[in-house]
A and B are shown apart, each in its own frame.
Chain A
Amino acid sequence: MKLERFVAVLVARNREFIRDRSALTWNIMFPVMIVFGFSFAFSGQPLDKYKISIYSNQPDVEASSFGFSRLKYTKFIMADNVDKAILKVKRHQLDMFVDVVSRKYWINDSSPNGYVLERVMGSFDDFDFDKATVSGREIRYVEWLMPGVLAMNMMFSALFGVGYVIVRYRKSSVLKRLKATPVSAFEFLSAQIVSRLWLIMLVTIFVYFGTDVFVDFSMNGNYFDLFVVFMLGAFCLISLGLMVAARITSEEMANGLLNMISWPMMFLSGVWFSLEGTHPLMQQLSLVFPLTHICESVRAIMIDGVGLMDVSDHLLILVFMSIIFLGLGSYFFRWDD
């Protein structure tokens, strides 16, 4: 690889992105509009009236096997981790948590829903548990949404900004012209990745702090950890874009394929709503999407304040996916049609 050639392609791509005012504006304005729109639409009220999580060490136990689950207008979810469930009660993401093993239940002492639920649940015979309280500020929907929107914007920018652009280059013979020079496929693809990576990071940082000024969301983790997750996530999504664009010569085909990938990811990766309580198959399916792992890692850092080691399983999956996407993308890449 010759640095001079790599930098020349990188500069050309950066210039193209920055000078395309409409695309640049859209990249910045789109996530801001989404955050404002949803924070306005869902301000105050949570999505479910009441939400109770139950923990049992018995396998295959369902919430419906408990008598108190007959309570109407309440969503019952089985928990797989006591500490995480208690943290959610602290954050007001759950109104109550019931641990049938230790015979205890938790409510947040500042949660009106928790107070009401405690009174109502007492009327059920099988609700015979000891009370425990936790304290913690409520996580507003916008704070929960923000990581998802940042990740989603990253996804669109990576897939369309790399995948679609390469197909356009191929169709208009820009790639053919480059093929006739000493520029190697590795130099070209590296320049595309680096160019999009720093542009995505720049836009993400700008949108993050710009939105924070108006929405004032909480950040309980470390900024360096968040930066690492965003970098890795963006790299993985760019690699996916490269893989899609490896051989396609039609912009229409590329558009269709990129939409076919991005739309299910947008709705099934937990960008808008938590996947908790959804069908287990849906939850399993969501794990094949890189966006799910980005959303979960970013939320864990921003909301729960955890470190990189705590989200290492997600990060390893993202690294693995990046290697696969990049390997296939490079192997199948061709300059011309």
Chain B
Amino acid sequence: MNSIIQLQDLYKQFGQLKAVNGISLSIEQGTCFGLLGPNGAGKTTTIEMLEGILAPSSGKVLYKGRPLDDTFRHEAGIMFQHTALQDFMTTREALVMFQHFYENKVQLDQVIKDCSLTEFLDQDNRKLSGGQRQRLLLAIALINDPEIIFLDEPTTGLDPQARRNFWQLIRQIKQRNKTIILTTHYMEEAYELCDSIAIMDRGKIIAQGEPAQLLRKQFSDVIVQLPKEDVDLSFSELPMDIIEDNEYIQIRSLDVTETLRQLLALNINLAHLQIRARTLEDLFIELTGEQLRT
């Protein structure tokens, strides 16, 4: 596959703070790439350097093998984490304005349909709900039929239903063979949408690859978890590999049958027992030794 965008030894420093500390990446055309990490990890700084919004302190960003130029501006669609549109502008007017900025224009009806904007087309953009607003901003990012789309924490602040609806939109875009670069601190979101991911922490990439592959590589166990109130014993009395958690006793298990047998032998109430596979969140904690700083 061809690489559409490359980062070469990228650094960004704000005063004494090294926000991005030597990142190199290559993102394949037609894939969805996720940049993951907690708040303050350097995701937004990295994506803004990729978008050409921020200049790197050192290092290079290459789009189709060339530094970011006017061609990139015409072929990129960007949805920022925090942005605003001009006041007193309706959804339709915002779309029309952005449509005029580009040589390549998508049919307005098409983007309105794709992003489900019909119900609030003539509404002032300042009066839209969180989900509606994100759909409008995504529509604006798609107005030039971009080859590469940047989505910076697109579902932050959305309720679970709106988030899932948004995922559906992103899946539809993926089907059109577009390259998507997504930042998120929702590990589930990355797992659902991304073909490959990079986990960032403190300005560095600490893991990179396909989500399932990364999990397989790191973990061979599953988690057996029980609510703390169902277990009368202290951690030290349990003859198992335990992960501390505020609400649950989480047991690392290589053999679930054996673990269940041990729990029954200890007379523990298993009514609320859950068995779950390892997640990207587990991977993050495993790699950094910290809880996710959301």
Whether A177 pairs with B73 at a CB distance below 8 angstroms is no
Whether A12 pairs with B74 at a CB distance below 8 angstroms is no
Whether B87 pairs with A20 at a CB distance below 8 angstroms is yes
Whether B100 pairs with A8 at a CB distance below 8 angstroms is yes
Q: Which residue of A lies closest to B85 (CB)?
A: A174
Whether A20 pairs with B88 at a CB distance below 8 angstroms is yes
Whether A16 pairs with B88 at a CB distance below 8 angstroms is yes
Q: Which residue of B lies closest to A4 (CB)?
A: B100
Known contacts A15-B93, A180-B51, A182-B74; A8 and B84 CB within 8 A of each other = no
Known contacts A8-B97, A15-B88, A16-B86; A176 and B53 CB within 8 A of each other = yes
Task: Bin the interface of chain A by size.
Answer: 20 to 34
Whether A180 pairs with B93 at a CB distance below 8 angstroms is no
Task: A8 to B87: give the CA distance in the assembly, Å.
Answer: 15
Q: What A residues does B83 contact at CB under 8 A?
A: 173-174, 176-177
Q: What A residues does B85 contact at CB under 8 A?
A: 174, 177
Q: Does B173 contact A (CB under 8 A)?
A: no
Whether B89 pairs with A173 at a CB distance below 8 angstroms is no
Whether B73 pairs with A16 at a CB distance below 8 angstroms is no
Q: Does A19 contact B (CB under 8 A)?
A: yes
Q: Does A139 contact B (CB under 8 A)?
A: no
Q: What A residues does B88 contact at CB under 8 A?
A: 15-16, 19-20
Contact of A5 among B70, B87, B101 (CB under 8 A): B101
Contact of A181 among B73, B84, B96 (CB under 8 A): B73
Q: Does B235 contact A (CB under 8 A)?
A: no
Whether A177 pairs with B102 at a CB distance below 8 angstroms is no
Q: Does B82 contact A (CB under 8 A)?
A: yes
Interface residues of B in 75-110 (CB under 8 A from A): 76, 78, 80, 82-89, 93, 96-98, 100-103
Q: Does A336 contact B (CB under 8 A)?
A: yes
Q: Does A228 contact B (CB under 8 A)?
A: no
**A184 to B: closest C-beta gap in Å:** 9
| Secondary structure of the A contact surface, majority rule | helix
Contact of B100 among A5, A16, A177 (CB under 8 A): A5
**B142 to A: closest C-beta gap in Å:** 13
Whether B82 pairs with A173 at a CB distance below 8 angstroms is yes
Residues 9-35 of A, flagged 1 when their CB comes within 8 A of B and 0 if not, give 101110110011000000000000000
Task: A16 to B101: give the CA distance in the assembly, Å.
Answer: 18
Task: A179 to B80: give the CA distance in the assembly, Å.
Answer: 12
**B127 to A: closest C-beta gap in Å:** 13
Interface residues of B in 101-123 (CB under 8 A from A): 101-103
Interface residues of B in 38-73 (CB under 8 A from A): 51-53, 70, 73
Q: Specify which of A9, A19, A182, A183 lies most central, judged by the most chain B CB atoms within 10 Å of its CB.
A: A182
Q: Which residue of B lies closest to A335 (CB)?
A: B53
Q: Does A324 contact B (CB under 8 A)?
A: no
Known contacts A12-B86, A12-B89; A177 and B80 CB within 8 A of each other = yes
Q: What A residues does B51 contact at CB under 8 A?
A: 180
Whether B102 pairs with A182 at a CB distance below 8 angstroms is yes
Residues 180-220 of A, flagged 1 when their CB comes within 8 A of B and 0 if not, give 11110000000000000000000000000000000000000
Q: What B residues does A306 contact at CB under 8 A?
A: none
Q: What A residues does B87 contact at CB under 8 A?
A: 16, 19-20
**B71 to A: closest C-beta gap in Å:** 10
Whether B98 pairs with A181 at a CB distance below 8 angstroms is yes
Q: Which residue of B lies closest to A15 (CB)?
A: B88
Task: A13 to B88: give the CA distance in the assembly, Å.
Answer: 10
Q: What B residues does A183 contact at CB under 8 A?
A: 101
Task: A93 to B183: give the CA distance in the assembly, Å.
Answer: 71
Q: What B residues does A20 contact at CB under 8 A?
A: 87-88
Q: What B residues does A169 contact at CB under 8 A?
A: 86
Task: A19 to B52: give the CA distance in the assembly, Å.
Answer: 33
Task: A180 to B53: give the CA distance in the assembly, Å.
Answer: 7
Q: Does A172 contact B (CB under 8 A)?
A: yes
Whether A13 pairs with B86 at a CB distance below 8 angstroms is yes
Q: What B residues does A174 contact at CB under 8 A?
A: 83-86
Q: Which residue of B lies closest to A173 (CB)?
A: B83
B-to-A contact residues, CB < 8 Å: 51-53, 70, 73-74, 76, 78, 80, 82-89, 93, 96-98, 100-103
A-to-B contact residues, CB < 8 Å: 4-5, 7-9, 11-13, 15-16, 19-20, 169, 172-174, 176-177, 179-183, 336
10 A-B pairs besides A5-B100, A5-B101 with CB distance below 8 A are A8-B97, A12-B89, A15-B88, A15-B93, A16-B89, A19-B88, A172-B84, A177-B85, A180-B76, A181-B102
Can you pick out 9 interface pairs between chain A and chain B where the beta carbons lie within 8 Å of each other?
A7-B100, A8-B96, A8-B97, A15-B88, A16-B88, A19-B88, A177-B78, A181-B102, A182-B73
